[in-house]
Structure 1
């Protein structure tokens, strides 16, 4: 679970409520079932119309994608790629076939290694892997746009709710004593619409895009590593290519890990096991 996402949502919502209470407002004034129904019901209805059922069915998946930290780190992937490069230079490309079991849960990496072992042309591998990255990015964004759309519809639904409330108010102008409270209630719909869009829907969509950017970077890193291994480039050149994806501090940590593996005399299989546990 990405605690930062949960904390951010709670801080945003609580800040609005606490600020309202500090101004002398009452919590009950914010709880209006009619405004809630108009804004959230209208928003969900508009979203349902906008997307096909198969995309809407993946909403739980994309919520998990937003609230769970990416499991794979660039530094771990680089260590794995360098170990694979050392194996291929020492034993040949065919030796990589025996290492595929270490990527049973990573179809992208497994497919890339298989193509290298099968002797597929490097341009073809590059095209296939980059096409895979592009399609993966489109898939995640197509689901994530559910929240982007909700963030666009919600403020409009809030305005509609407010206008509906004001129509009711203007139809009862003879009761001047109740005019002020009735107008206040009407604007609760706008609060629901603008608040939900800017505290819930749009931030979640932004988090989805940020997590996706991390995933895409990892896949691009793997593509660079796989192609470099096929070319038979030296470990030094491979490191220079892959370290470009890291900060200087992260690069130093990877160097320390690689030095530790070399110093301990661990075989490639043990090195992979260490990486998986880190």
Structure 2
């Protein structure tokens, strides 16, 4: 569980609700069903319209990373590569075959299998880099779904505000309806801006950060696997890979 993500969301909405109470406002004034339907529904509709179904599914799967990010252990990865290197120097590359079969990470398993098969270093690098780039682009495209939602939400909020003002202007002769119309107008704007800046944009940035960290890990694995294929000393490999840890 990413405590910072949970804490960030709690603080963001606590600040808005707490500030409203300190100004003398009622909490109920910030809850408006029609405004919520306009902003949330309109934002989802615009995002779905511009996005393909596979990308939406990937974005929904990735959304849990905001609170439960995938484990990316650079130190563990270095230890793993060093163990492979020691095994390869003692038993040859064929000695890695058993490790390849038991390796839980798909990317690392593929690299080990290429080593065992005796592929050329350039071939190994090319195959692994293509997979890394393809996966990275797909993950970033999924993260952009939340960025798009952040872009649409404030505009949809303005549409809700205009709709509320239209209701006010068309019912000036009935003062009992003016309050509801004005409330929808202002609350819709708050919903749009708040969702964009307190939820959607931060989620997109968080996911991009995780994708970049994951790509750095896989870049490190590629360098380690290539170094093993070239027969480098385990100590030299360790020193090289530690350059990935900032």
Short-chain TM bin: over 0.9
1:162-183 per-residue CA deviation (whole Å, 9 max, x = no partner) reads 0111122222345679757743
SS of residue paired to 1:125: helix
Counterpart position of 1:33 = 33
1:94-124 per-residue CA deviation (whole Å, 9 max, x = no partner) reads 1111211341x21111111111111111111
CA contact (8 A) 2:72 2:213 kept: no
Separation in structure 2 between the aligned mates of residue 115 and residue 42 of structure 1, nearest angstrom:
48
Separation in structure 2 between the aligned mates of residue 30 and residue 189 of structure 1, nearest angstrom:
9
TM (norm. structure 1) is 0.83
Counterpart position of 2:237 = 238
Separation in structure 2 between the aligned mates of residue 2 and residue 76 of structure 1, nearest angstrom:
20
Counterpart position of 1:171 = 170
Counterpart position of 1:99 = 99
Q: How does 1:178-217 map to 2 (within 5 A)?
A: 182-217=181-216
SS of residue paired to 1:25: coil
Counterpart position of 1:121 = 120
Counterpart position of 1:158 = 157
Counterpart position of 1:263 = none
What root-mean-square deviation, in Å, do the aligned CA atoms of Structure 1 and Structure 2 show? 1.8
1:243-272 per-residue CA deviation (whole Å, 9 max, x = no partner) reads 10114xxxxxxxxxxxxxxxxxxxxxxxxx
Counterpart position of 1:9 = 9
Separation in structure 2 between the aligned mates of residue 134 and residue 236 of structure 1, nearest angstrom:
29
Q: CA deviation at 1:35?
A: 0.6
Counterpart position of 1:47 = 47
TM (norm. structure 2) is 0.94
Separation in structure 2 between the aligned mates of residue 33 and residue 184 of structure 1, nearest angstrom:
11
Separation in structure 2 between the aligned mates of residue 69 and residue 184 of structure 1, nearest angstrom:
38
Q: CA deviation at 1:242?
A: 0.3
SS of residue paired to 2:244: coil
Number of residue-to-residue matches in the alignment: 246
Q: What residue ranges of structure 1 are gaps of 5+ in the alignment?
A: 248-278
Separation in structure 2 between the aligned mates of residue 141 and residue 82 of structure 1, nearest angstrom:
30
Q: What residue ranges of structure 2 are gaps of 5+ in the alignment?
A: none
Counterpart position of 2:136 = 137
SS of residue paired to 1:57: helix
SS of residue paired to 2:94: helix
Q: CA deviation at 1:214?
A: 1.3
Q: CA deviation at 1:127?
A: 0.8
